[in-house]
């Protein structure tokens, strides 16, 4: 730990950063972590009750003054408080709250101090400046959580859940991340890891002491354990597609022939005029993407150029992008104009959607006299709902249809979906090695072959939880974090 360093800075340094979001807010929190955290805090914070920071009770809030002490060298033997010394050179920076946690029972596993200040960016920068003057350095992105990981306060799945929780864009995604932070996936990984290590230990013994043998009973036991883990991993991997959608949102292409009201629908769902709407057919050329929560479902809406054959080279490029958006979509909303009969271009648009992609036909312009008949709609053979993007009528029923299609976003359903591609890839490798071990065990018992597979599986699981991870990969993971986390 002492020697551990990233980018030339040592992890044994005491670090500080603003832990709360930017902009003006009622409260802004500056977090300090490291072996000097309490000493430095004692130099700059003076509790109104007279207790020195070093003597604070953990996780109790103390009200007091944060001061830029010019001298900053209090006599350790003296009980005199800075405030009472009344040095004219001390500058009052803020009247705030201070709380401490002592190693190892803190987020990072180190001595930690938090100053709950007034949420002004000037005050917070001043607080940081004073801390830096006292020998603290600025934390790197994710450094607090990285220290928590390196100090064994959480594993890598939980550390990644921290950033997922901060960045969650739907209640269900937040809930799933909280579940992972709580250990939903880590527990599964640790249990598989321990069972594999037990089997591996026995196989090592067999190799080291050739007289030792594996009896048939034990062999069947091992096979069952390996098959159980294989099954658990298969079920976990099956959650990854849903988990990815939960984390990233459903890519949703709004398509249709020109002028049916695709851009109007985008604007109506967003609640503001994002896309240009005109009566000119072919208004939208490029794709326009925006995220939105429909009920609890996170959609990545993509408004597209109207689908029609055209000689206009720009519109042609737009149509190509529409087709690309359809091929990557998890949901396609086909917008039809209810005030006109169905046209060939409507059928062409429907045909452009791959059969396995969920789709909804939105019959727009319900404020105008209806021309499109129920029979014509039935012939299309897809779920439909009638709306007016202009007046907003019917948007509720569209919301309901979308929520029905993506139950993964329902709250209280998700807490252990595999959302992270890095983790999924490692679990998949572990599963492959376990499958090979099962084959090796069932075919001929060659302990060396089984061992190689078991070791590979254990290493892959170790990558998921961070037990066996290369420093550069760990660094890359924590670079995704914001400063202060
Ligand atoms: N009456 C009525 N007019 C609508 C409605 N929705 C859209 N329009 C009108 O239909 C025309 C086309 O709307 P857009 O939203 O630009 O249609 P689009 O499908 O994006 O068109 P392109 O981008 O050209 O493919 C505009 O004049 C809109 O005002 C609606 O619900 N009712
Ligand atoms: Mg448009």
pLDDT tens across 354-406, in order?
999 999 999 999 999 999 988 888 888 899 999 999 999 999 999 999 999 99
Q: What percent of the chain has pLDDT over 90?
A: 73
Question: Which ligand gives the minimal distance to the CA of 281?
Answer: 1
Structure tokens of 135?
């020998």
- From the alpha carbon of 284, which atom of ligand 1 is closest? 23
Cα-Cα-Cα-Cα dihedral sign, residues 335, 337, 342, 346: negative
CB neighbours (10 Å) of residue 205? 12
Beta strands in 286-417 (DSSP E): 288-294, 297-303, 331-337, 359-364, 384-386
> What pLDDT shows up at residue 18?
96
Largest CA distance in the chain: 91
365 lines ligand 1 (CB under 6 A): yes
Give the Å distance between the CA of 268 and the centre of ligand 1: 11
Residue 259 CA to residue 346 CA, distance in Å, equals 12
- With a CB cutoff of 8 Å and minimum separation 6, the contacts of 100 are 37, 38, 41, 53, 56, 58, 59, 111, 112, 113, 114
Distance 282 CA to ligand 2 centre (A): 7
| 145 SS3 class | helix
Share of the chain above pLDDT 70, in %: 91
Q: What is the model's pLDDT at position 89?
A: 60
Phi and psi torsions of 405, nearest 5°:
-70, -25
| Confidence at residue 168, expressed as pLDDT on a 0 to 100 scale | 93
Q: Which ligand places an atom closest to the C-alpha of 306? A: 1
Q: Is the CB of 276 under 6 A from ligand 1?
A: no
CA distance 277 to 259: 9
Shortest-distance Cα residue to atom 32 of ligand 1: 365
Closest CA to 94 of 140, 137, 56, 131: 131
Report whether residue 264 contacts ligand 1, using a CB cutoff of 6 Å.
yes
Give the pLDDT band (50/70/90) at residue 76.
Answer: very low
Identify residues whose C-beta is under 5 A from ligand 2, the ion. 262-263, 283-284
Nearest to 338, CA basis, from 302, 300, 368: 368
Q: Which of 79-93, 133-147, 296-310 has the lowest mean pLDDT?
A: 79-93
Q: How far is the CA of 300 from the centre of ligand 1 (A)?
A: 21
Strand order in the sheet with 288-294: 288-294, 297-303, 250-255, 331-337, 359-364, 384-386
- Whether 147 is in the pocket of ligand 1, judged by its Cβ within 6 Å, is no
**Higher per-residue pLDDT: 80 or 201:** 201
Whether the predicted pLDDT of 219 surpasses 60: yes
Out of 386, 389, 395, mutate this one to test ligand 1's pocket (max ligand atoms within 8 Å of CB): namely 389
Residues 132-153 have a mean pLDDT of 94
Burial class of residue 483, CB neighbours in 10 A (0-12, 13-18, 19+): middle
**pTM exceeds 0.85:** no
Mean pLDDT over residues 208-216, rounded? Answer: 68
Which position has the token pair 């299309």?
Answer: 380
Average pLDDT over residues 142-151: 93
Residue 75 has pLDDT above 80, yes or no: no
What is the pLDDT, as a whole number, of residue 130? 96
Q: What is the pLDDT of residue 379?
A: 87
Instruction: Retrieve residue 328's tokens.
Output: 């990557």
Assess whether the C-beta atom of 179 lies below 6 angstroms from ligand 1.
Answer: no
Beta carbon of 390 within 6 Å of any ligand 1 atom: yes
Q: How confident is the model at residue 307 (pLDDT cuts 50, 70, 90)?
A: very high
Beta bridge partners of 114: 31, 99
Model confidence pLDDT, tens digit, residues 443-484: 876 778 889 999 999 999 999 999 876 676 677 777 777 777
Give the chain's mean pLDDT: 89
Mean pLDDT across the stretch 286-309? 94
Stronger pLDDT, 7 or 317, i.e. the higher one: 317
Q: Whose CA is nearest to atom 12 of ligand 1?
A: 259
DSSP H helical ranges for 59-183: 82-85, 121-133, 143-150, 156-167, 171-181
pLDDT of 3 higher than 80: no
Query: Which ligand is nearest to the Cα of residue 277, counting in written order?
Result: 1
Q: Is 263 in the pocket of ligand 1 (CB under 6 A)?
A: yes
Q: What is the DSSP letter of 54?
A: G
pLDDT in tens, 16-51: 999 998 788 999 999 999 999 999 999 999 999 999
Q: Would you say residue 74 has pLDDT above 50?
A: no
What is the rounded average pLDDT of the residues 177-195? 95
Query: How confident is the model over 407-454, as pLDDT tens digits?
Result: 888 876 667 899 999 999 999 999 999 999 999 888 876 778 889 999
Mutate to test the pocket of ligand 1, among 259, 284, 316, 335 (most ligand atoms within 8 A of CB): 259
Residue 214 has pLDDT above 70, yes or no: no
pLDDT in tens, 101-120: 999 999 999 999 999 999 99
Cα–Cα distance list, 218 to 116, 223, 293, 341, 346 (Å): 58, 9, 53, 72, 64
Q: In this predicted structure, what is the pLDDT of residue 2?
A: 40
In whole angstroms, give the CA distance from residue 406 to residue 293.
12
Whose alpha carbon is nearest atom 14 of ligand 1? 261
């Amino acid at each position: 730990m002492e020697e551990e360093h990233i980018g030339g800075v040592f992890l044994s340094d005491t670090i500080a950063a603003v832990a709360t979001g930017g902009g003006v807010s009622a409260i802004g929190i500056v977090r300090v972590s490291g072996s000097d955290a309490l000493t430095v805090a004692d130099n700059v914070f003076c509790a109104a009750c007279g207790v020195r920071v070093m003597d604070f009770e953990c996780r109790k809030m103390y009200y007091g003054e944060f001061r830029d002490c010019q001298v900053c060298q209090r006599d350790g033997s003296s009980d005199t408080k800075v405030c009472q010394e009344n040095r004219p050179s001390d500058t009052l920076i803020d009247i705030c709250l201070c709380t401490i946690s002592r190693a190892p029972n803190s987020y990072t596993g180190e001595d930690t101090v938090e100053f709950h200040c007034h949420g002004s960016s000037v005050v917070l920068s001043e607080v940081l400046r004073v801390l830096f003057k006292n020998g603290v350095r600025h934390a790197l992105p994710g450094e607090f959580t990285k220290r928590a990981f390196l100090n064994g306060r959480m594993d890598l799945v939980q550390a990644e859940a921290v950033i997922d929780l901060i960045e969650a864009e739907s209640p269900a995604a937040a809930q799933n991340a909280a579940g992972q932070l709580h250990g939903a996936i880590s527990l599964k990984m640790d249990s598989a890891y321990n069972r594999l290590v037990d089997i591996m230990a026995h196989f090592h013994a067999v190799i080291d002491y050739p007289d030792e043998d594996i009896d048939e009973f034990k062999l069947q036991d091992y096979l069952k354990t390996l098959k159980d883990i294989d099954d658990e991993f298969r079920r976990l991997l099956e959650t990854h597609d849903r988990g990815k959608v939960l984390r990233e949102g459903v890519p949703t292409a709004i398509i249709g022939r020109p002028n049916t009201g695709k851009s109007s629908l985008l604007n109506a769902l967003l609640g503001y005029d994002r896309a240009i709407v005109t009566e000119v057919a072919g208004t939208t050329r490029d794709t326009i993407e925006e995220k939105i929560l429909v009920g609890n479902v996170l959609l990545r809406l993509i408004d597209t150029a109207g689908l029609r054959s055209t000689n206009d080279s720009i519109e042609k490029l737009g149509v190509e992008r529409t087709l690309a958006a359809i091929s990557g979509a998890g949901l396609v909303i086909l917008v039809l104009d209810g005030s006109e009969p169905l046209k060939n271009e409507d059928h062409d648009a429907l045909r452009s959607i791959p059969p396995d992609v969920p789709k909804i036909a939105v019959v727009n312009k319900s404020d105008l006299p209806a021309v499109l008949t129920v029979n014509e709609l039935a012939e299309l053979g897809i779920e439909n709902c009638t709306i007016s993007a202009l007046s907003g009528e019917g948007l509720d029923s569209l919301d309901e249809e979308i929520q029905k299609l993506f139950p993964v976003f329902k709250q209280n359903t998700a807490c252990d979906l595999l959302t992270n591609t890095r983790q999924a890839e490692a679990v998949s490798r572990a599963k492959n090695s376990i499958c090979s071990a099962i084959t090796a065990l069932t075919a001929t018992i060659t302990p060396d072959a089984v061992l190689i597979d078991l070791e590979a599986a254990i290493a892959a699981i170790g990558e998921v939880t961070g037990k066996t991870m290369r420093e550069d990969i760990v660094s890359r993971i924590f670079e995704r974090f914001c400063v202060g986390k």
